[in-house]
Amino acid sequence: MNIDEQTTNQPLNGDLLPSEEKRKEGPYALCECHQSIPCNPCVTSCPTGAVSLDNINDTPDIDFDKCVGCSQCVSACPGLACFVIDETYSDDSALITLPYEFLPLPEEGETVEGLDRKGDFVSEVTVQNVEDAGENEKTRVITIIVPQEAVHRIRNIEIREEHHG
């Protein structure tokens, strides 16, 4: 699968994922960036040097051995293209940490709709954590609990209107 196909509903294939071993160890980042534009906050925000670009117009590479799943890149990426995946949460559920720039914010414990890369509904998901924006009002980082089988399909959420109507 090439980088453009990441924008479809298809799960990512092995080329873009860490090894099976790393996926079983804990959280890891994916930067699903498919535009060759001069941009590098994913690189500069990473405290472990896990993200690299051959030149600033390239799409990023992640060294999964260095990634500690801290989510700094999720908040820093202006393209909202970085996510942290944790497939070790439980036997049937995984965590996705994603950027979120809409209001209202979901509440922790709330059930929301998990959407795929096209915005189509995949599954109901539960909001586990809504990170504080801090002084800089940076992009919010939200962690959701998703079914294991949907961990590489869900990349966004939508809040149900009746919860905030």
- Which residues are near ligand SF4 by CB under 6 A? 29, 31, 33, 39-42, 45-46, 48, 50-51, 60, 62, 67-73, 77-79, 81-82, 84
- Residue type present at position 141: V
- Residue type present at position 23: R
Tokens 């590489």, located at residue: 152
Nearer to ligand SF4, 45 or 123 (CB): 45
d(C-alpha 76, C-alpha 133), whole Å: 12
Which two tokens mark 107? 């509440």
Nearer to ligand SF4, 11 or 78 (CB): 78
* Minimum distance, C-beta of residue 163 to ligand SF4, in the bound complex (Å): 29
Tokens 């996510």, located at residue: 83
Angstrom distances, CA of residue 102 to CA of 77, 115, 144: 16, 15, 16
Nearer to ligand SF4, 79 or 147 (CB): 79
Nearer to ligand SF4, 10 or 44 (CB): 44
* Minimum distance, C-beta of residue 22 to ligand SF4, in the bound complex (Å): 11
* Minimum distance, C-beta of residue 131 to ligand SF4, in the bound complex (Å): 13
**Dihedral sign, CA of 161, 89, 64, 67?**
positive
* Minimum distance, C-beta of residue 85 to ligand SF4, in the bound complex (Å): 10
